Amino acid sequence: MMGLFELNKVDSGARSGTLHTAHGDVPTPAFMPVATQGSVKAVDPADLREMGATLLLGNTYHLYLRPGVETIQHAGGLASFMGWNGPTLTDSGGFQGYSLEHLRQITHDGIIFKSHIDGTTHNFSPATVMSHQEGIGADIIMPIDVCAPGGSDRNSVIEAVETTTRWAELCQKSHTRSDQHLFGIVQGGVFPDLRSNSATQITSLEFPGYAIGGLSVGESKAEMYDACDVATSLLPIDRPRYLMGVGSPEDLVECVARGVDMFDCVLPTRIARNGALFVTEGRINIDTARFKTEDRPIEEKCDCYTCNTFSSAYVSHLFKAKELLAYRLATIHNLRFILRLMEELRKSIEVGEFESYRKEFHSHFVPPDERTRRAQKQRWLEAQRRRPDHIPL
């Protein structure tokens, strides 16, 4: 089978390449829209293909509970089941070990979950997680790991690193499908030496690709960027690098600059359903009074279906009227913004103009105030943990 990753160009540390999977090629840097339960909220596969998506992410924990691995396997695997028929990646459920704190117990041998659906108990061990993901049939799969919450003390992070390494070895031994690529996951919180230790341990296992986990969980942007720097400096040049759970435009640009190739995050779709839309200058709230009579599109230069077809006033009206179409149109716009950003980053790398693009991006894109952003993120995480039917939104 062809190797997973082909590195095409490096410019100022930023990389362009190609992932080769059984369901097609993926140009990198790439952003994965999140299809937690086999569906990207508010849009369908035709929308995703039109907006330029090339790789989707599903979640093993949620898919295992509903509809079940056997159902997906009977349909020919996740890509076929969801009508996408393109490359897919599944997270192992390790993040649910962090986000479902009130419904899980982390043991030496795995994570024991109490189902948020019916209260039944399920054991996610390295062996069972590999079995579930082999049945689900994604092209790229993840080992089960321990994601330490932001602000964790050093001893807790040390334990998370040690457990993640031990489980990675066991996952590697249990994995049997040659048409799937199992990545290793680097943990270590915001402690540089622990990040370094984790990267050294995980790369010694010779995975075909590597993920950087345990970030965007409450730390500052500076801490995230520093941890990313430490990890990427120790990861093999010829293997893909995946930063898990990061999707703010400014973070995508900065982490591509640090040599990351792959990203996923619910942020673009989640904030879209709340009326927050990405534009060249940052974010706007489409349901505010200023858009009530605005007959121009959300962004003049945007090539998405929403901007090509509807006015800002119409989209604003849909939100105020609580029409379901509002969520689809807003989601299409935000995802296309992010996917177009990745396309532009890739092009800038390939022509040797990445630093110029990076500088130009930061000259006009103004992200939310970091203190406000972190407070909002923390409130959202706490609200999600309190929901009895917790599913990442």
CA 202, distance to chain mean position in Å, is 20
Q: Which distant-in-sequence residues (6+ apart) come within 8 Å of 220 by Cβ?
A: 370, 374
What is the C-alpha to C-alpha distance for residues 66 and 35, in angstroms, rounded to an integer?
A: 13
In the structure, what pLDDT confidence band is assigned to residue 103 with cuts at 50, 70 and 90? confident
Cis peptide bond prior to 67, omega within 30° of 0: yes
Would strands 241-243 and 262-264 be described as parallel, antiparallel, or unpaired?
A: parallel
Among 87, 95, 100, 84, smallest CA distance to 39 is for 84
At 60-86, the pLDDT tens digits run 999 999 999 999 999 999 999 999 999
In the structure, what pLDDT confidence band is assigned to residue 371 with cuts at 50, 70 and 90? confident
Given a contact cutoff of 8 angstroms between Cβ atoms, the answer to whether 325 and 72 are in contact is no
Which of 47, 251, 264, 287 is flagged as catalytic?
264
**Beta carbons within 10 angstroms of residue 379's beta carbon:** 10
At 28-63, the pLDDT tens digits run 999 999 999 999 999 999 999 999 999 999 999 999
Evaluate if residue 175 carries a pLDDT over 70. Answer: yes
**What's the mean pLDDT in 296-314?**
98
pLDDT for position 370: 80
Burial of 163 (0-12, 13-18, 19+ CB in 10 A): buried
In the structure, what pLDDT confidence band is assigned to residue 146 with cuts at 50, 70 and 90? very high
Give yes or no: 303 in active site. no
pLDDT for position 38: 98
CA 16, distance to chain mean position in Å, is 18
Evaluate if residue 190 carries a pLDDT over 50. Answer: yes
Amino acid at 327: Y
At 3-13, the pLDDT tens digits run 899 999 999 99
DSSP secondary structure code for residue 181 in this structure: E
Give yes or no: 11 in active site. no
Instruction: Give buried/exposed letters for 260-297 (b at 16+ CB in 10 A, else e).
Output: bbbbbbbbbbbbbbebbbbbeeebbebbeeebeeeeeb
Evaluate if residue 141 carries a pLDDT over 70. Answer: yes
In the structure, what pLDDT confidence band is assigned to residue 201 with cuts at 50, 70 and 90? very high
Q: What is the mean pLDDT of the chain?
A: 94
Among 32, 94, 52, 97, smallest CA distance to 242 is for 32
Cis peptide bond prior to 29, omega within 30° of 0: yes
Beta strands in 47-198 (DSSP E): 56-59, 88-91, 104-106, 111-114, 121-124, 140-141, 181-182, 184-186
Amino acid at 132: H
Q: What percent of the chain has pLDDT over 90?
A: 89
Higher-pLDDT residue of 231, 372: 231
Given a contact cutoff of 8 angstroms between Cβ atoms, the answer to whether 259 and 15 are in contact is yes
In the structure, what pLDDT confidence band is assigned to residue 1 with cuts at 50, 70 and 90? very low
Given a contact cutoff of 8 angstroms between Cβ atoms, the answer to whether 85 and 79 are in contact is yes
Given a contact cutoff of 8 angstroms between Cβ atoms, the answer to whether 87 and 54 are in contact is yes
Instruction: Give buried/exposed letters for 62-82 (b at 16+ CB in 10 A, else e).
Output: bbbbeeebeebbebebbbebb
What is the C-alpha to C-alpha distance for residues 132 and 69, in angstroms, rounded to an integer?
A: 6
Which of 91, 139, 145, 261 is flagged as catalytic?
91
Evaluate if residue 385 carries a pLDDT over 70. Answer: no
Q: Which distant-in-sequence residues (6+ apart) come within 8 Å of 143 by Cβ?
A: 92, 94, 126, 129, 130, 164, 167, 168, 171, 172, 182, 183, 184, 185
**Beta carbons within 10 angstroms of residue 378's beta carbon:** 13
Q: List beta partners, residue 32.
A: 264
At 275-293, the pLDDT tens digits run 999 999 999 999 999 999 9
**What's the mean pLDDT in 198-208?**
98
Domains belonging to the chain, first-starting first, are 7-264 (3.20.20.105), 272-367 (no CATH)
What is the C-alpha to C-alpha distance for residues 295 and 302, in angstroms, rounded to an integer?
A: 15
Amino acid at 260: V
Q: Which long-range CB contacts under 8 A does 375-380 form with residues at least 24 apart?
A: 377/218, 378/218
Name residue, tokens 């995975």.
Answer: 207
